[in-house]
Structure 1
Amino acid sequence: MFVRAYLRASTTEQDADRARESLQAFADSHGLRIAAWYVENESGASLARPELFRLLRDAQPNDILLAEQVDRLSRLTGPDWEKLKGEIATRQIRVVALDLPTSWMMATAQTDEFTSRMFQAINGMMLDMLAAVARKDYEDRRRRQAQGQAKAKAEGRYKGRQENVARNASIATMLSKGLSWSQIENAVGCSRATIAKIAKRAA
């Protein structure tokens, strides 16, 4: 059994590594060793998350996917959450989240089959509930943001998000020199979506 820690932030302006210390402290307190870290800056509302799916490909049956909160794993729509949950179930990965105490029992080997199955059922139900809450929170924030932008536009105050010209020029230069997207992502600290946008411009 390996513990694979997943860290995610939505944008490059946010620190995806922020929760590393909390995950390490949880692992230490439960006698676990984190075998690998998977860190990315991608939206939790999208299934386009390379590091999450690299974790799933790397994982073996009974490995643990450790996350700070369920919303780090999913702010997905219902159908997309079912796809991700199905992938996790197919690979027999145990999800443990710091904000989901019922999942903590998944971090220890179960000798009693009945107890193990009960906790799996309860944990699955709680995961579904928190994933739904995370999606609602995402949609509520997007709606409030759109309302704020509409008001600002009506008052002539909205200018939109300003492009990081210097960063994007650096990305274009690195692309022209043949650097891989992963190399650029690590060097600049941007998302793959940003690289894709710059690559499309240069095409």
Structure 2
Amino acid sequence: MSNVYGYHRTSTTDQHLDRGITAINDYCKANNITLTEMFTDQQTGKNFNRPDYQAMKRIAKNKGDVIILSELDRLGRNKEDTLKELQHYKSLGVRVMILEIPTTLVEYSKMDNTMATMIMETINNMLVEMYATFAHAEMQKREKRQKEGIQAKKVRGDWQDYGRPKAIDYRVFENEYKKVVDGEMKPFECMKKLGMTKPTFYRYKKQYEVKQKQE
């Protein structure tokens, strides 16, 4: 009996997996498909060194198995590597269905007209490559913007601590944190007022304590 696997990925842990998982589950429910297992990763799409993806790849290797994705870029953003992965599954007889590309949802092997089948498969391949190209271009654009942003910070002198962007001026933090020390303000209130994340707040707090000891 064939197995059906769902796979969804987000680039960071800050992004929620719910949307893609829901889309896959809804499709399976609407089409009476029993999902064998759902695999998820929260890592970059630049490569395929992801724990859940590799776990799925190890078992999705039997002819007739199916992998369902909500969008092609959830599989990967590098065009050449993504197409290579798709070819890997095709060579094994594993079908990859991508919800955003309707042609991948059609079962061509059940079509009677050979010419129609060839035309549909050609269209499908073209669409998959086009979507892979878009995902790759978006990845390159994002990397370019990140590099430009980092360079701009370095030019302004705002890039400190081995590449970490400077949150706020230490003197501003010191003035506000004294209110926490004096019991006039709660730590979370200070964080909120200064617009600081928890890790940054405690990094500045440690700096403050070291300075106090030295004085």
Amino acid across the alignment from 2:71? Q
Aligned length: 160
Amino acid across the alignment from 2:112? D
Question: Which 5+ residue runs of structure 2 have no aligned equivalent?
Answer: 166-215
**Larger radius of gyration between Structure 1 and Structure 2:** 2
Amino acid across the alignment from 2:56? L
Partner of 1:112: 112
Q: Structure 1 residues 45-54 or 35-44, which shifts more?
A: 45-54
Mapped partners of 2:63, 2:120: distance in 1: 17
Give CA-to-partner distance per residue, 1:150-199, whole Å, 9 cap, x none: 1122112234448xxxxxxxxxxxxxxxxxxxxxxxxxxxxxxxxxxxxx
CA positional deviation for 1:25:
0.9
Give the TM-score taking structure 1 as reference length. 0.69
Q: What RMSD, in angstroms, separates the aligned Cα atoms of the two structures?
A: 2.3
Amino acid across the alignment from 1:69? E
- Do the aligned residues in 2 keep the contact of 1:70 with 1:99 (CA within 8 Å)? yes
Give the counterpart of 2:63 among 61, 71, 94.
Answer: 61
CA positional deviation for 1:22:
1.4
Partner of 2:78: 76
CA positional deviation for 1:2:
2.5
Mapped partners of 2:164, 2:69: distance in 1: 30
Is 1:36–2:8 an aligned residue pair?
no
Name the CA shift for 1:103/1:82 in 2 (closer, same or farther; >3 Å): closer
- Do the aligned residues in 2 keep the contact of 1:6 with 1:67 (CA within 8 Å)? yes
Mapped partners of 1:75, 1:17: distance in 2: 20
Is 1:147–2:148 an aligned residue pair?
yes
Partner of 2:210: none
Is 1:50–2:51 an aligned residue pair?
yes
Name the CA shift for 1:94/1:118 in 2 (closer, same or farther; >3 Å): farther
Q: Which gives a bigger RCO, structure 1 or 2 (Cα 8 Å, sep 6+)? A: 1
- Do the aligned residues in 2 keep the contact of 1:6 with 1:37 (CA within 8 Å)? yes
Name the CA shift for 1:55/1:134 in 2 (closer, same or farther; >3 Å): same
CA positional deviation for 1:113:
6.5
CA positional deviation for 1:10:
1.4
Partner of 2:208: none
Is 1:134–2:123 an aligned residue pair?
no
- Do the aligned residues in 1 keep the contact of 2:83 with 2:132 (CA within 8 Å)? no
| Percent of pairs with identical residues | 26
